[in-house]
Structure 1
Amino acid sequence: MTSEPTSTELLAETTRSLAAMHHNQVHREPWPDFDAFDPTAYPEPVRRRAAWHWMARARAEHGSVLQFSAVTHALTRARAPVELLGALARLITDEV
């Protein structure tokens, strides 16, 4: 008779993938040279559209933090496995 896999075993690959994704996002080297960017090289309508899209993305990221936090809170109260909570925590930090 085979036993059921543990939550650690079930989440191992996902946890590794999320950890790698998080590391690549947070520790990217080198960062772009933001000071070298010349916004005047682009027409104002293009800059306005880019600013609007950037703002929309920021709102979506902010909303994702709230949603992942709510899910993490609910799963914590339900005593979900710590490995699952850790994976969700990585998702939250990826959004910030």
Structure 2
Amino acid sequence: MAESMIERVARVLAERRGNKAVWEEDIATARAAIEAMRIPASAMTAAGIKRQVAWDYGEGRGVDEYPHTSEQAVYTAMIDAALEDKP
């Protein structure tokens, strides 16, 4: 069974604490972290719009490469912007 995004985040949190065997203890924290990203920062929104326009003009459409859809491309661009930690 594929892991959910909450499980993925919980596993990373547990690994960062040095105890990846008990990732279930981090589910509530993982859920809270994802909920905190529900409303994107302005940099995330700008990155998503920029990536969608680029996709619409044919950029980044490698058949065998991720992202495979415009939704994946926009999502990835927005998360990348969040990881840059700019307001």
Tell which has more relative contact order, 1 or 2 (C-alpha 8 A, sep 6+): 1
Return the index of the structure with the highest Cα Rg.
1
* TM-score normalised per structure 1: 0.34
Q: Which has the higher helix share?
A: 1
